[in-house]
Amino acid sequence: MDWLTEHKAKIDFALKRVTLRTNEMVEIVVVGKLQSLPHLCNAFAGQRNRGLRHFHCKEFPDVFPDKLPGLPPDREVEFNIELYPSSLSVSITPYRITPTKLKELKTQLQDVSPWGSLVLFVKKKDGSLRICIDYKQLNKLTIKESIHCHELTTCSSNCEVSQCS
């Protein structure tokens, strides 16, 4: 909250817009693109690991400064999944799931997303469950990239060759 106060943050939930000001009085406006409201989660869920986080902050003070140096820098690549125009959230009947698997699903799902997929569980050798997500329906809505890079070394060598001189 102190960081938001320091940068005079204005949050407009209706327009999905955040306005910040740097110390040099430069105004930065960030506009979101959510098409639907995200699911809400219980605020008490984040309380259980609070002591562990505090321990890591004290153990690595160079990584966790007391005061943030400012806004994060702009990145060269902005991650984005292109969807076909007028794509709606996938709505199909979920797979049947047993109560024990439903309990496991709730413990494994930490990130809440307005987009969902069908979920299966596979039993591991130690008896625990591994979550497997079926992305077929979501993949039908995404615009495919023209370059597929299966290995980072292959992709980086191709980029070096294609540079202009």
CATH of the domain at 128: 3.10.10.10
**Cα three-residue angle 121-126-132, rounded to 5 degrees:** 20
128 lies in the same domain as 87: yes
Is residue 158 one of the residues assigned to a domain? Answer: no
109-133 pLDDT tens trace: 654 455 667 777 888 899 888 878 8
Is residue 129 one of the residues assigned to a domain? Answer: yes
Domain coverage including residue 98: 83-145
pLDDT of residue 105: 74
C-beta contacts of 74-82 below 8 A and 24+ residues apart: 81/142, 82/142, 82/143
49-101 pLDDT tens trace: 444 455 566 777 777 777 777 877 777 777 777 888 888 877 778 778 888 88
64 lies in the same domain as 97: no
25 lies in the same domain as 67: yes
Is residue 52 one of the residues assigned to a domain? Answer: yes
Top-confidence residue, 162 or 73: 73
pLDDT of residue 48: 47
Query: Among the ranges 37-41, 43-47, 109-113, 119-123, which has the highest mean pLDDT value?
Result: 119-123
Is residue 138 one of the residues assigned to a domain? Answer: yes
- Per the structure, the count of domains in the chain is 2
134 lies in the same domain as 90: yes
pLDDT of residue 25: 72
90 lies in the same domain as 68: no
15 lies in the same domain as 50: yes
Is residue 141 one of the residues assigned to a domain? Answer: yes
12 beta partners = 17
10 beta partners = 19
Mean pLDDT of the 20-36 span: 71
